[in-house]
Structure 1
Amino acid sequence: MTAPTIHHGSSIPIPPAQLASLIDAHPKPPTLSSYSYGTAGFRYPAPLLPCAFVRMGIFSALRSASLGGEEVGVMITASHNPEEDNGMKLADSNGGMLDAAWEEHAVSLANAPNSKEAMVLISTLTRYIKGKYPQKNGGLPKMVVHVGRDTRSHSPGLAKLVVRAALAMGATVIDHGEVSTPMLHHFVMHANGHLLPGIIPQRCNESGYYEIMAFSYAALLRTGKLDGVGGKRLANTKELVIDGACGIGALKIDTFRKIFGKLNAEGCVGLPMLRTVNFPGEGPLNEICGAEYVQKLQLPPNLYSPKDKLMGMSKGYMTSFDGDADRVVFHFEDVNGKFHLLDGDKIAVLVSSFIQEELRCIDPDGQAVKCGVVQTAYANGSSTLYLKNVVKTNVVVAKTGVKFVHAAAHHHFDVGVYFEANGHGTVLFGPKFYDFIAQADAKLRGTPRNNRANIALRRLRLLPALVNQSVGDAMSDMLLVDAILYLRGWDLNTWAQLYSDMPSKQAKVKVADRTVIATNDNETAATAPEALQKALQSAMDAMAAAENRSDGPKPRCFVRPSGTEDAVRVYAEANTQNGADSLASEAMMLIYKLCGGVGSPPQPFITNRL
């Protein structure tokens, strides 16, 4: 761990002409028609990004000023993409994603054709901010920008562009160096301490990030001694193997290992031994390893680490991060060597059932706090049925993308759980939850420590500090899942047996223009072209008739335009793998025929329906 580098911008920003020269020095690439801000920011091959990074350095300073001096963040990463790509995620002062209205301003500034038009946009935003927060000196309010980057070779150079541009605006820049995406979001959230709930200790730096999570995690494990039910570390969960995707997460998990060693020395029980594989430099970033590969292909990761690191390693309790450590999935190989995946859907089921169980120990009627899970159309149908019928929780389907599910969790629930199937997710706790905790604390004060309601209160109080409240966090989520398994006395196989996933298939079809495809708000149905959804529904009905099953979820298929290329993505699931393959094949051919497919017609995955 190294302390961040703090750069102080001049109290007198550089003249507009010099700012324009800085923009001109990094012109828009002629090969790029326009920058788009996807569900998690700008993301392109690294050589295309200097123009956007200079402008976003300026923009991030303005965003801080627009919030009256609250601190904001810029994370330089392309997440699960290959090494040659890079990108940027902008964090608002609450630690979450950039506000949608300001996202539009960011895109406009990134796409201004030249410095003259860029300066017009900058001047317009500056006048707006000065009108909202007039200063005695006639300038802008305080501006503070936190900058972090992942381990890609081009990230340091791109970070320098952001720092230089933000300083040119007169901002103070706090450069954290190499950190995970969730860490950068954590720093921003905690830097604006007035926005934190009182139940979460304010920890603004990297050591504080580790300590708040490690100590909350250890305290959660200790509650297992009180209820006499769980609190068991099974033999095959004593070593947790972490596939770091050859990215930043592999480096950062080492600090947790050191803290765990100290806690073990102090007598804390239940902590697993952490073994990390796939460090930066041991293999290509995100290539045949990491959460994206494991979840999409449902295959174990390649292990790039030297053989001496792998000696004696068990594959019975494993997890995979992605390149910037904001996604996590679990997996294991059984005694027969068969691979089993526990993805974001399985995590959502485990976490939501645990939280609801603890809440009901205090509030048996379940009326005080509204809980629920936000899923996307990609969520496996079996998980949705399990949540509704067994966990008995509310389920909302949101548009694909973390910014959409995050917003839905905030909007619909007092305790909102969301995990996309790819393993990106968290738990958000709203004001009613904190009121509930305060009232329960007053009610249970003086009751025995091993009273079940008191145990539940202790557990629930720890969760907001353990679970990253700003964004999905692989390290935080890994500790949460491990704690729940420990408290229940489960291993991954027991967890996996809660329900069986419906077989599924994902694919994509290249089209001349992806905008011909339109969907409803949560992307579960196509609204254009007009004939497409009717044809898809006929295919689903035919598959349901062929499978002829009255129990369980029905076969389904949806399509959605890609956010990054002229292609249409396909998802299909059925009660057999052949059925899912066949349904996906039919959907691909419908898209090719009805939506302007390019190239050769898509080849079916199988030749028979069942």
Structure 2
Amino acid sequence: MHRNMPTSPKIYHGNSTPLADAELAALIDAHPKPSSISEYSYGTAGFRYEAGLLPCVFVRMGIFTALRSASLGGEEVGAMITASHNAEPDNGMKLADSHGGMLDAAWEEHAVSLANAPDSKHALALIHTLSDYAKGNHPDATADGRLPKMVVHIGRDTRSHSPPLAALVIRAARAMGATVIDHGEVSTPMLHHFVMHANGHLLPSSIPQRCNESGYYEIMAMSYAALLRTGTVGSGGKRLPTTSTLVIDGACGIGASKVDKFQRIFAKLRAEGCTTGLPVLHTVNFPGEGPLNEECGAEFVQKQQLPPKLYSKSAAGVSKEYMTSFDGDADRVVFHFEDKSGKFHLLDGDKIAVLVSSFIQDELRCIDPDGKAVKCGVVQTAYANGSSTLYLKNVVKTNVIIAKTGVKFVHAAAHHHFDVGVYFEANGHGTVLFGPKFYDFIASADARLRGTPRHNRANIALRRLRVLPALVNQSVGDAMSDMMLVDAILFLRGWDLSTWARLYSDMPSKQAKVKVADRTVITTNDNETAATAPVALQIALQAAMDAMATQENADGGPKPRCFVRPSGTEDAVRVYAEANTQKGADSLASEAMVLIHKLCGGVGEPPQPLITNRL
């Protein structure tokens, strides 16, 4: 029942004559802004609220996405209806620009302004401004006074309220004259993939254009199999007995039903004799088998550092030696296992970043021993575990920069600073970006190595690097893509999860938050590693860190650290603390909470000391 064929998208053509202002105003007024919402905010990945509060936003964003497409001269854009790792009652929207990535920052501001327009009169004024911009930017396409061509892709997750919300977006976009391509239930990364591939002129020539669901599976599975086949020669290249079956926790969301479709392709490959390295995929926690994201999925596993609850009947007796967890819309992935003693081990986004970056750099150095042709690096946030940062700098010997928390910031930093930029937030959301110099390097290496023995190590490295851009979803983090990338690397190195986990030990950490009357009294530096106001707060935090370093005798080793930042969604301040012992991390976080409450207008009683129950 989970292996239904991919469905073709439904195409809705826009109104031949876009709605007049009065009709458009009536559509907007039919879904007014709720009185309980003072202002809609656009987080690091879009709007996200309780579903009943969203019709106003969805109507306006249907109009907005059409205008965004028009502003790009008809390049295709997307809207994904999902609340990701949130619980079932919530929903939201992530907007995809024509390159498949996050919405441009300037247009994000326009989206927020339109969502918060107090009434249809103010909304129409913004719509006219954006329409005039689109017409003025593409005069050749607007000779008759109409907007340029507009195409909007729509996707949704498995939430019960996603279909009616999607219908609002479709209706509003068509009212503007846009063609809407409705992909139905898909993962967030799939929707971003469709948008990226629909604008084929923006794709690197080495990546085949595949705009539909079947093409998404095909390009990824074939690239994955090609990477695995390079393990027949060279180092590694063995599937360890304990890692022959990969158990996938789908968070009772869209990812479970989608990743299961790879089984059909794998079966075909096996029938053709292509068995090198292909694992058996055992998917559990399908939609409807349990509450979405509840006690399962990447968010639960990573934040609670606990194994997921397995709702599926097929999970009975399943091996827990090689497991992975997606989140509800399948753009995050973490790995985990239980050892022979039953102890749980988590391999989060930090561990993935280390594995992926070290693999890519090893392969590049086989072709370019000096490592000067392509600039590689890893983008982390302040939440990255300090041990991972030290390992990347001292062992992998790669560049590391710290960016502001949020995928849109780390994605932009990876694109800007590196020819091959790796980013994975600790929560498992991440990808690899390949810039123009990488593709030039591959072309040059191909010409130089042509005619050399196929088993030459540089030739093997070239084959491996050549398939990576097609296997990796470069538009956004993708649980399915990242899962196969990690599995292939483990296979090529002959590692199981325990070997990977032993690369370094995480420093103990603690996260918390403190409610305050006004979160804007706290400001931070660009990468959020230090508070800039109130000035006394950072002075006190630094004193606490120095005292903890002395207490733990941290000379020569990782230093305790603590940072705070205002929440993006509520009047609260988030705290992260790290030390050489869990007791030290708890103590440092507790002291930071007291300081915030005292210096930043804390609400309620002073925070109580934090104690981690797990050893």
TM-score w.r.t. structure 2 length? 0.98
> Which residue, 227, 246, 249 being the options, matches 1:243?
249
Letter in 1 for 2:145: G
Deviation at 1:550, TM superposition (A): 2.3
Find the counterpart in structure 2 of residue 154 from structure 1. Answer: 161
- Distance (Å, rounded) in 2 between the aligned partners of 1:111 and 1:225: 57
Gaps of 5+ in 2: 1-5
- Matched residue SS, 2:233: helix
1:397 matched to 2:402: yes
Contact 1:382 1:552 in 2 (8 A): no
Matches within 5 A, 1:404-553: 404-553=409-558
Find the counterpart in structure 2 of residue 291 from structure 1. Answer: 298
Runs of 4+ in 1 over 4 A off after TM superposition: none
Contact 1:146 1:176 in 2 (8 A): yes
> Which residue, 349, 355, 374 being the options, matches 1:350?
355
> Which residue, 128, 136, 144 being the options, matches 1:131?
136
> Which residue, 197, 222, 228 being the options, matches 1:221?
228
Find the counterpart in structure 2 of residue 25 from structure 1. Answer: 30
Find the counterpart in structure 1 of residue 3 from structure 2. Answer: none
1:387 matched to 2:392: yes
- Matched residue SS, 2:586: helix
- Distance (Å, rounded) in 1 between the aligned partners of 2:382 and 2:561: 10
1:254 matched to 2:260: yes
Letter in 2 for 1:332: F
Find the counterpart in structure 2 of residue 78 from structure 1. Answer: 83
- Matched residue SS, 1:509: strand
- Distance (Å, rounded) in 2 between the aligned partners of 1:253 and 1:392: 34
Q: CA RMSD in A?
A: 1.1
Letter in 2 for 1:64: S
Deviation at 1:551, TM superposition (A): 3.2
Letter in 1 for 2:299: E
- Distance (Å, rounded) in 2 between the aligned partners of 1:245 and 1:597: 35
Deviation at 1:10, TM superposition (A): 2.1
Find the counterpart in structure 2 of residue 377 from structure 1. Answer: 382
Contact 1:226 1:449 in 2 (8 A): no
- Matched residue SS, 2:260: helix
- Matched residue SS, 1:533: helix
- Distance (Å, rounded) in 1 between the aligned partners of 2:553 and 2:539: 21
Deviation at 1:311, TM superposition (A): 3.2
- Write out per-residue CA displacement over residues 298-350 of structure 1, whole angstroms, 9 at most, x where no aligned residue: 110111112xx023410000000000000000000000000000000000000
- Write out per-residue CA displacement over residues 9-66 of structure 1, whole angstroms, 9 at most, x where no aligned residue: 1232111110110000000000000111110000010011000000000000000000
Letter in 1 for 2:44: T
Matches within 5 A, 1:4-15: 4-15=9-20
1:360 matched to 2:362: no
TM-score w.r.t. structure 1 length? 0.98
> Which residue, 81, 104, 111 being the options, matches 2:109?
104
- Matched residue SS, 2:510: strand
- Distance (Å, rounded) in 2 between the aligned partners of 1:319 and 1:569: 27
Q: How many aligned residue pairs are there?
A: 606
- Write out per-residue CA displacement over residues 530-566 of structure 1, whole angstroms, 9 at most, x where no aligned residue: 1000000000000000001323210000001111111
- Distance (Å, rounded) in 1 between the aligned partners of 2:510 and 2:543: 18
- Distance (Å, rounded) in 2 between the aligned partners of 1:550 and 1:565: 38
Matches within 5 A, 1:47-196: 47-134=52-139, 135-196=142-203
- Matched residue SS, 1:223: helix
Contact 2:131 2:147 in 1 (8 A): yes
- Distance (Å, rounded) in 2 between the aligned partners of 1:586 and 1:303: 37
1:604 matched to 2:609: yes
- Write out per-residue CA displacement over residues 494-547 of structure 1, whole angstroms, 9 at most, x where no aligned residue: 000000000000011111111111000000000111100000000000000000
- Distance (Å, rounded) in 2 between the aligned partners of 1:284 and 1:111: 32
- Distance (Å, rounded) in 2 between the aligned partners of 1:37 and 1:332: 35
- Distance (Å, rounded) in 2 between the aligned partners of 1:209 and 1:150: 17
> Which residue, 555, 559, 580 being the options, matches 1:554?
559
Identity %: 83
Letter in 2 for 1:174: I
Contact 1:91 1:98 in 2 (8 A): yes
- Write out per-residue CA displacement over residues 169-215 of structure 1, whole angstroms, 9 at most, x where no aligned residue: 00000000000000000000000000000011100000000000000
After superposing the two structures, state which structure 1 stretch, 595-604 or 368-377, moved more: 595-604
Deviation at 1:128, TM superposition (A): 1.3
